[in-house]
Amino acid sequence: MAIENGVRAIEDGVATDFTATMDYGGYLALDTLLSAQRPISDHHDEPLFIIAHQTTELWLKLALHELRAVRACLDADDVRRARKGLARVKHIFRTLTDQWSVLATLTPSEYMEFRGVLGNASGFQSYQYRAVEFILGNKNERMLKVFVSRPEAHDMLAELLDSPTVYDSFLSFLARSGHEIPQQVLDRDVRKAWVEDASLLPVYKAIYEDTAAHWAEYATCEDLVDLEDAVQLWRFRHLRTVQRTIGFKTGTGGSSGVDFLQRALDLTFFPELYTVRTWIGA
């Protein structure tokens, strides 16, 4: 490609007339996307705060899209495609974890100059984050009242509350694959948050101690552990970013802030997959 006076020529085959065809901006609806940042203060750093949270919501939208597909693939015994989806969601959360480093450049004094304009708006109210939590097993019916004023969000969470989780679908897949999943586990009330069930530990112990015979199940277990680790690292980075920015102040939505986020680290999606590690080889 010719370069003249430091300027690279446009190749002859490159499209340049989009009066009658779709271009990049049209396909991505960039006019809508790039006009969605609407600061309500004149502070230089408010766009950073808005964009960081908006991009988080875009990634959460994709994570939820993928997790719904993972659940459907497991229901169809298509474990290979389910594993691909789990890997993708893991990398989404790794990306979200790295993103906190950008928001962490916002110093406490800078944030306090515009924090007041946020009112009660808070990440606590992210319905997509709640949806991801629900489909992974951390269900909480009481959260629905936060979204009564947003019927679409409320209905989406209500649907996920009433639906099996990714873990429920995985356990049903294990049962269909010949593993002795207790019937009370398969018949559990899916509206309830998952709590550790020791009756599953012999099943997982057998899988982990004979990976050659149970490779698909074993590999999917490790994918689930990878995903949980990625989510927990994201939660921890969230906590540390909040702590370095506002210390132990109350959150804008009325939560206890850092203390609230600290308690979230105690929530787990697939507890048996961690507990079984003590059993392996014992």
**Angle formed by the axes of helices 46-75 and 79-103, nearest 10°:** 170
The CATH number fitting domain 44-244+270-278, selected from 3.90.1200.10, 1.20.1250.20, 3.20.20.60, 1.20.58.480: 1.20.58.480
**pLDDT band at residue 1 using 50, 70 and 90 as cut-offs:** low
- The domain segmentation of the chain, as residue ranges, is 44-244+270-278
Average pLDDT value over all residues in the chain? 94
pLDDT in tens, 128-185: 999 999 999 999 999 999 999 999 999 999 999 999 999 999 999 999 999 999 999 9
Residue 214 marked as a ligand binder: no
189-231 pLDDT per residue, tens: 999 999 999 999 999 999 999 999 999 999 999 999 999 999 9
| pTM as predicted | 0.93
- CA 143, 148, 149, 153 dihedral sign is positive
Mean pLDDT throughout 264-271?
Answer: 88
Q: Does 252 appear as a known binding residue?
A: yes
Q: 2-32, pLDDT tens digit by residue? A: 777 788 888 889 898 999 999 999 999 999 9
Give pLDDT, residue 261: 78
Of 132, 149, 147, 116, the C-alpha closest to 252 is: 116
What whole-number distance in Å separates Cα of residue 197 and Cα of residue 12? 65
Question: What is the share, in percent, of the chain residues with pLDDT greater than 70?
Answer: 99
